[in-house]
Chain A
Amino acid sequence: MKSWTRREFGRLTGAALLTALNQPKARGQAKARVVVIGGGIGGATVARYLAASATAIEVTLVEPRQSYATCFFSNLYLAGLRPFESLSHGYEALAKQNGIIVVHESAAAIHPAAKTVALSNGSKLSYDRLVVAPGIAFRDRALEGYDEAAMEIMPHAWNAGQQTRLLRQQLESMEDGGLFVLVAPPNPFRCPPAPYERASLVASYFQRRKPKAKILILDAKDSFNAQDLFQDAWNRHYPGMIEWLPAQFTGGVTAVDAKTRSVITAGATFKAAVANVIPAQMAGRLAQQAGLANRSGWCPVDPVTFESALQPGVHLVGDAIIGGDMPKSAFCANSQAKACAFAIAADLTGSARLPAHLFNTCYTYLAPDDAFSNAISFKPVDGKLKSVISFVSKVEESSEVRRQAARAAEGWYDAFTHDVFG
């Protein structure tokens, strides 16, 4: 099997060594096996925290790619403010520091009755518990004409990677005075403020390099996340550059024509110099194939253990889940993943389960030196994840406060990606 990453053990610190040797329970017993499918933020965090939480658990992470590029902060790359490489994170540390077995293959199928995962290379992994973190997929036929070929002309750039680079190339080669059309998706979708952060940061790039360019946001919605903060910032930083048209005004985007790079609404056709089409979303393909998603297209879970409501023994975290107030964000995926890892570890080792603490925190850029933040805590209530306390930055904050938030965001990215990828 060519792409097994060799399991290597980290250097032992004195304290960790002592603790490990003091764990008689783990010695001489077969390890419980947890397989995690998907090496995005949710999957990598579950794997890392499970591996660290009990020595009696063997963790295998199944992820076809050799590295993961973060969607968060990719808008800074699109604006020319960050190199693409800075968004990319490998899995070496998960193997070396945490002893996780990283298998660079795709999961082809899940067999919950047999407790096995079939890999695309024909081999099979057995598990005691399975965690699936499949991320998002785009809904078929949500927009007429938006097929895989059209994505290469009008990129979505909603999974970071080649699509993000393509959009950056198009923005760079666009002539001054061109129209950038951004099609914003219906709820729910990955990272609610991100389409509007993208418009803000692309505007900052245009202001520096193509000051006559315009941005048109064609939205599937009539309102959006932190709308007052965005619209205030657009007036202050980019007067006259960004126009936002809600669905009630356009009748909604119904189709695209890749040949003419046009976006078609109920009443008009908008011809773009560069078009970024972010389609309607649902849980990743594997979740759909494995019967983990319900008719909404998303995956219902127990809000305490993140076990699937449809398939016992299978847990889900991240953007693919539904069932409450938690938005689809990397921070939520990371927070859910920790709660899920602790719940699985408690079950497998027979220790007590402690109350979980679930949060979303997010920094959003309005301009390179102007960011806002929000924080929300969540609790399981009646089988759903309910928002308990929520605070967000205010429109009237000083520019110094916003500058500090932009600096904090940089530090957050560094700490957060360390937490997830080592």
Chain B
Amino acid sequence: MRPVARSAIATGLVLLFSQSGAAAGPDQGAQLAATCASCHRLDGGGTGIPSIIGLGEERLTNALLAYRASESPNHIMHVIALSLSDEEIASVARYVAKQGSNPR
């Protein structure tokens, strides 16, 4: 059977293949973005939880740095961001910024 890619973007699941194609497993940005997907729909849909799709890498990076620095305005994002290193923030922001807005 041929290897088959699933319609990951269209279905909102993190696209877990390495963007470079160099590694067989999921890359760092994709694995970190799996945490985002527990609350934020990665197809850009949904209400109640702010969308993180279509924001751009810089805005995502700055938001995560701000959440890491302060409990206010959101203690959930504070806990998430506190667990991330600078490198991990850059990596997940780069990855999420590449996800297209494609709500069903």
Q: Do A and B come from one complex?
A: yes
Q: What is the size, in residues, of chain A's interface with B at 8 Å between Cβ atoms? A: 67
CA distance A346 to B26 in the complex (A): 8
Residue A2 at the chain B interface, CB threshold 8 Å = no
* Most chain B beta-carbon neighbours within 10 Å: one of A26, A350, A391: A391
- For A393, the chain B residues whose CB sits under 8 A away are 75
* Most chain A beta-carbon neighbours within 10 Å: one of B37, B71, B84: B37
Q: Which residues of A, 247-262, contact B by the 8 Å Cβ criterion?
A: none
Q: Which residues of B, 51-78, contact A by the 8 Å Cβ criterion?
A: 71, 75-76, 78
Cβ contact within 8 Å between B7 and A20: no
CA distance A15 to B16 in the complex (A): 12
Q: Which residue of B lies closest to A100 (CB)?
A: B6
User: Scoring B residues 29 to 69 as 1 if CB is less than 8 Å from chain A, else 0, what string do you get?
Assistant: 00110110111110101111100000000000000000000
Task: Say how far B41's CB is from chain A's closest CB, in angstroms.
Answer: 5
- For A409, the chain B residues whose CB sits under 8 A away are 48
User: Scoring B residues 6 to 34 as 1 if CB is less than 8 Å from chain A, else 0, what string do you get?
Assistant: 11111111111111010111101001101
Residue A6 at the chain B interface, CB threshold 8 Å = no
Task: Say how far A362's CB is from chain B's closest CB, in angstroms.
Answer: 9
Cβ contact within 8 Å between A390 and B25: no
Task: Say how far B36's CB is from chain A's closest CB, in angstroms.
Answer: 9
Cβ contact within 8 Å between B3 and A10: no
Residue A148 at the chain B interface, CB threshold 8 Å = no
Cβ contact within 8 Å between B4 and A20: yes
Task: Say how far B27's CB is from chain A's closest CB, in angstroms.
Answer: 8
Cβ contact within 8 Å between A407 and B48: yes
Q: Which residue of B lies closest to A353 (CB)?
A: B25
Cβ contact within 8 Å between A412 and B83: no
Task: Say how far A115's CB is from chain B's closest CB, in angstroms.
Answer: 21
Q: Which of A16, A26, A377 contacts B8 (CB 8 A)?
A: A16
Task: Say how far A397's CB is from chain B's closest CB, in angstroms.
Answer: 11
Task: Say how far A40's CB is from chain B's closest CB, in angstroms.
Answer: 15
Task: Say how far A188's CB is from chain B's closest CB, in angstroms.
Answer: 22
- For B14, the chain A residues whose CB sits under 8 A away are 52
CA distance A410 to B35 in the complex (A): 18
Cβ contact within 8 Å between B13 and A342: no
User: Scoring A residues 7 to 27 as 1 if CB is less than 8 Å from chain B, else 0, what string do you get?
Assistant: 001111101110111110111
Cβ contact within 8 Å between A414 and B47: yes
CA distance A16 to B82 in the complex (A): 31
Identify the A interface with B (CB < 8 A): 9-13, 15-17, 19-23, 25-27, 31, 48-49, 51-56, 93, 97-99, 331, 334-335, 338, 342, 345-346, 349-352, 354, 357, 359, 361, 373-377, 388-393, 407-412, 414-416, 418-419, 422
What are the nearest 5 A-B pairs in CB distance?
A: A411-B48, A351-B25, A20-B5, A391-B75, A16-B5
Identify the B interface with A (CB < 8 A): 1-19, 21, 23-26, 28, 31-32, 34-35, 37-41, 43, 45-49, 71, 75-76, 78-80, 82-84
